[in-house]
Structure 1
Amino acid sequence: MAEKQKEMSFLGHLEELRWHLVRGASAIFILAIVFFVFAEEVYDNFLLAHIKPDFITYQVFCDFFNLFGLESDFCNVTFADKKLQSIKVTSQLMNSIWSSLILGVIVSFPYLLWEIWRFVAPGLTEKEVSKSKGFIFTASFLFFIGLLFSFYVIAPISVHFLYNYQISESIVNSFTLQSHIGLITNMLLGVSILFELPVLIYFLTKIGLITPEFLKKYRKHALVVVLILAAIITPPDIASQVIVAIPILILYEIGITVSKRVIKKQQKDAQKSPRV
């Protein structure tokens, strides 16, 4: 009888998890449909915004360099050919569907976190639930900071460099729609996820997998890992990789501070708990 009750309890958890997943997937698909319906506006004002010479980042960079009396290519941004190729018959349709799904995941990120929290919350104590209420806000804040950083800093620098890089005048840059959108969406999603590093460190410290001493000891190794990840999600130019790596390393240092506070709090709670 006990085994049957345990099995039913396990199946009940699976059923509950299934509905959380269904609601999360539904949110993604609903937003994806909205993005697909307004695909022209999404592409012109967001995904293709970086190949417009008047993009705000280029103007800001130009003003910054002019402030120090320096000349900059950002003051005269030109793209040899802003027209992207759609080689296959289905390229535009499939690209629109895929990019809509990715944008659906990005925009629904806070809701997805909320569904995860709702599934985990019943297994937490009241004290743990009250402490974890800021989790969704913090994780979402870091995620969207990473999104803004990648959209307004990394993406325009990468696009400006790659579109104007030319080995020889005999070679003409003629990019495809898939390559451009893949570049932008990979950066947006990849950098945003990397900005979740302090949250990841918090939970790994909480369950005892890492400590502040561990993070300090392997700081140099972390630098190598961060550079590798930056190389994966950014174009193969040193400037973009370094610009991505700098905030991630800052977040790593913040993570060390977070880990210290978690350990300190655990030690304090252990001292307060009654000894058996």
Structure 2
Amino acid sequence: MAVDRSSGASADDNRLKKRLREEGLMSLFEHIGELRKRVIVIFAVLVLSMVAGLLLADPAYRLLMAQEPVKDMELHAFSLWDGIGMYMKFAFVIALLITIPVAFYQIWSFVKPGLHPAEQRATVRYVPYAALLFVLGLSFAYFVIFPMAFGFTTTVSRNLGLEETYGVTQYFAFMFNILIPVSLLFELPLVIMFLTKLRIVTPQRLKKMRRVAYFIMVLIGTTITPPDVISDILVSIPLIVLYEASLFFSGIVYRKQQEKDAAREREYGELESHAQT
């Protein structure tokens, strides 16, 4: 008696396809759940850092008030909420300083299962540099860009015969609107290296984007600085150098990846040749 095996094989194939679809769906939901956990951790650290920032806001405020150009100025409160708003701005900047390394670590932990052990060890080294680059960006923005912008605006006010009466909220909002974007821009080399490590970007792609990147850097430089050529050049050039540094470090990471891939292919080739013999 002949047995119809085609129907049985077809049923097995259907069951296999169904199982693969279910496993793929489960894997997708597991990844989303893992990402959700990482985002919650980052948000929790940001909230706790804000609490710590509120405790450190007063000494940070007094330290900045003892520096130029605000040292001999008299700041005013134009609203009952101005003092609270000032504390919140300081708390947010301090919280960013604490949260950025944690955010990099959480991102690394999320992509860690897809990396080789050597890549895991290399990638985790990026985390401490996140805070260092943020501090460097903060220093550049505070000691270079902010004095130029403040000097330009006060010169214009005096030329117009305006009496300078500054509110504490307006002064620190003006300051932080310069400090925070520039500080985050200084994370660019680290972000590019990280994306190169994950094989999302390559130096070749970054070179093709160089003109667009230069335009964006110059646009950012002219936006956050006074509208004069000298200030634009003084800010735009470091931002362009920052992009070139990102490209340079991306090339180093990419070359190491290519060398490891080549060594791995040679190793597999030798194993295959030994297996054939």
Q: Shorter-chain-normalised TM-score: which range?
A: 0.7 to 0.9
Give the CA deviation at 1:48: 7.2
Query: 2 CA distance for matches of 1:132 and 1:252?
Result: 20
- The within-5 A match list for 1:8-87 is 8-46=26-64, 49-53=67-71, 82-87=73-78
2:10 corresponds to which residue? none
Residue 126 (structure 2) pairs with residue 135 (structure 1): yes
2:102 corresponds to which residue? 111
- The within-5 A match list for 1:171-190 is 171-190=162-181
What TM-score, normalized by structure 1, do the two folds share? 0.74
Query: 2 CA distance for matches of 1:86 and 1:157?
Result: 25
Describe the shift of the 1:233–1:95 C-alpha distance in structure 2 as closer, same or farther (beyond 3 A): same
1:166 corresponds to which residue? 157
Describe the shift of the 1:222–1:12 C-alpha distance in structure 2 as closer, same or farther (beyond 3 A): closer
Give the CA deviation at 1:226: 0.8
What TM-score, normalized by structure 2, do the two folds share? 0.74
Segment of structure 1 superposing worse, 8-17 or 123-132: 8-17
Query: 2 CA distance for matches of 1:270 and 1:35?
Result: 45
1:58 corresponds to which residue? none
Segment of structure 1 superposing worse, 164-173 or 245-254: 164-173
Are the aligned partners of 1:20 and 1:115 in contact in 2 as well (CA < 8 Å)? yes
Among candidates 185, 199, 210, match of residue 190 of structure 2: 199
Are the aligned partners of 2:221 and 2:232 in contact in 1 as well (CA < 8 Å)? yes
Query: 2 CA distance for matches of 1:153 and 1:221?
Result: 25
Give the CA deviation at 1:105: 1.4
Gapped regions of structure 1 (runs ≥ 5): 54-78
Give the CA deviation at 1:98: 3.8
Describe the shift of the 1:191–1:48 C-alpha distance in structure 2 as closer, same or farther (beyond 3 A): farther
- The within-5 A match list for 1:196-275 is 196-206=187-197, 207=199, 209-212=201-204, 214-216=205-207, 219-272=210-263, 273=265, 274=268
Segment of structure 1 superposing worse, 249-258 or 218-227: 218-227
Gapped regions of structure 2 (runs ≥ 5): 1-17, 273-277
Are the aligned partners of 2:178 and 2:224 in contact in 1 as well (CA < 8 Å)? yes
Query: 1 CA distance for matches of 2:102 and 2:56?
Result: 22
Give the CA deviation at 1:104: 0.9
- Which structure features the higher share of helix residues? 2
State the identity %.
Answer: 26
Are the aligned partners of 1:28 and 1:108 in contact in 2 as well (CA < 8 Å)? yes
Give the CA deviation at 1:248: 1.9
Query: 1 CA distance for matches of 2:243 and 2:200?
Result: 18
Please report the RMSD computed on the Cα atoms of aligned residues, expressed in angstroms. 3.0
Q: Which has the higher contact order (CA 8 A, sep 6+)?
A: 1
Query: 2 CA distance for matches of 1:125 and 1:41?
Result: 45
